[in-house]
Amino acid sequence: MTGFKCLAVPGPTNMPFEIRQAMEVPLEDHRAPDFPEFTMPLLADLKKVFRTETGQVFIFPGSGTGGWESAIANTLNAGDKVLSSSFGQFSWLWVDMCQRFGLDVHNVEVEWGRGVPMAEYRAALEADKTHAIKAVLVCHNETATGVTSDIKAVRDMLDDLGHPALLFVDGVSSVGSLEFRMEDWGIDIAVAGSQKGFMMPTGLAIVGVSQKALAKRNTSDLPVCFFSFEDMIKANATGYFPYTPAATLLRGLRKSIDMLLDEGMDNIAARHNHLAEGVRQAVSAWGLTNCCQDPQWHSDTVTAIKVGDGFDANDVIKTAYHQYNVSLGGGLSILNGKVFRIGHLGWLNEIMVLQALGGVEMAMRNVGIPFTSGAGVGAAVDFYTANKQPMKVAAE
């Protein structure tokens, strides 16, 4: 099929030509004497994306799952109690990993389409008089359902109760796209991946760690090697890595960081909100339902759309892909066949969103979902043209 494929999944996201070009370099010696001249500023500037001054950011070869493992293995002890909630595929996978590590997981199961259960979290923390809970896990943006939770509210709760538990945040589909303030929100470990807001190929697990969490590496008794904070700290101090780094991806990450900081993190969050609202307007105009059950949880990076009874979302996905060259996200686990997902994050503008919405309309028409042709695209056009936001000067 001629033309470019429309990549409208919530990761991997579209890669700018500048990042691709930055990685089109000869392979290099990662032990070269001048390699630190490249890596030291890179590591320092990553902290600006996470918005932390006192924390440290590590870059591991891997995906977000590897970042999760590093968070657990470097800070906790066998049998430690952790508080978590599962309300989608990815929040559930973190719970599963904790259980595999032999942790005592107090998990609150939440109906998919809702966010972090604040009342249940408060009740569990208030009841924990001996501070047996060592970590509180929060999936900032649940990619399976298009739900974003309030991280600051969780931190405020911990502070209000005087609870010393570490705050772990899955920021895989939020860092670099949504408002994310590691320092201000008191996040102890934030996990991200290169393939989403960083606009790169999969391959890097990027992990921000507070000084409080770093200190736990001295008392943790869980086995860790590849994802060792201690090994990274020693090697990064001189601009190197404890093993062969993904140097080509690091070159792409350098350009990614430059592009993010040039646009400004506040501007990026505003752009994602603007683009996402156009998609939400389209869903309403089609007469379909957002999987996210309340606007307070609306995700600005992905929207999961219910097709309704009598239809299979996989038919929409397959038709969009094979007939119109549009890649949509599928429904995961219990949502398989019930939703399709539109990713709207990373290197993206209004025209690219409209392209995805147009492809969705053609696919839905082919599978028989009733709607007025052009309704969703038109609603998004109306919103974008009426609410175009002027770019602000980056303050970072």
For 63-108, write each residue's pLDDT tens digit. Answer: 999 999 999 999 999 999 999 999 999 999 999 999 999 999 999 9
Note the maximum CA span of the chain. 64
Confidence of residue 2 (pLDDT cuts 50, 70, 90): confident
Q: What integer is the mean pLDDT of 271-283? A: 98
Tell me the sheet residues that pair with 84.
107
In three-state secondary structure terms, 366 is helix
Taking the domain 6-12+264-386, which CATH number applies?
3.90.1150.10
Crossing angle of helices 265-286/350-367, nearest 10°? 20
Domain ranges for the chain, please list them: 6-12+264-386, 18-263
Q: What integer is the mean pLDDT of 109-120? A: 98
Is the pLDDT score of 395 beyond 60?
Answer: no
Return the closest-CA partner of residue 334 out of 136, 128, 165, 109: 109
Q: How far is CA 369 from CA 134, 161, 271, 325, 336, in A?
A: 48, 50, 30, 19, 17
331-379 confidence digits (pLDDT tens): 999 999 999 999 999 999 999 999 999 999 999 999 999 999 999 999 9
Domains 6-12+264-386 and 18-263 share a fold: no
Confidence of residue 53 (pLDDT cuts 50, 70, 90): very high
- Residue 331 per-residue DSSP state: P
Confidence of residue 277 (pLDDT cuts 50, 70, 90): very high
Q: Percentage of the chain with pLDDT > 70? A: 98
Give CA–CA dist 135/216, Å, rounded. 11
At residue 109, the pLDDT reads 97
Arithmetic mean of pLDDT over the chain: 97
Q: Which long-range contacts (CB under 8 A, 24 or more apart) does 22-29 make?
A: 22/251, 22/252, 22/254, 22/255, 23/248, 23/249, 23/251, 23/252, 25/248, 25/251, 27/247, 27/248, 28/247
* pTM more than 0.75: yes
Is the pLDDT score of 394 beyond 90?
Answer: no
Q: What integer is the mean pLDDT of 311-338? A: 98
Q: How many CB atoms lie within 10 A of CB 187?
A: 29
At residue 390, the pLDDT reads 53
At residue 262, the pLDDT reads 98
At residue 1, the pLDDT reads 73
Q: Tell me if the domain spanning 18-263 has CATH number 3.40.50.720.
A: no
Give CA–CA dist 39/43, Å, rounded. 6
153-208 confidence digits (pLDDT tens): 999 999 999 999 999 999 999 999 999 999 999 999 999 999 999 999 999 999 99
Give CA–CA dist 162/122, Å, rounded. 12
At residue 14, the pLDDT reads 97
- Report, in angstroms and rounded to the nearest whole number, the Rg of the chain calculated over CA atoms: 21
Element (H, E) at 205: strand 203-209
At residue 391, the pLDDT reads 55
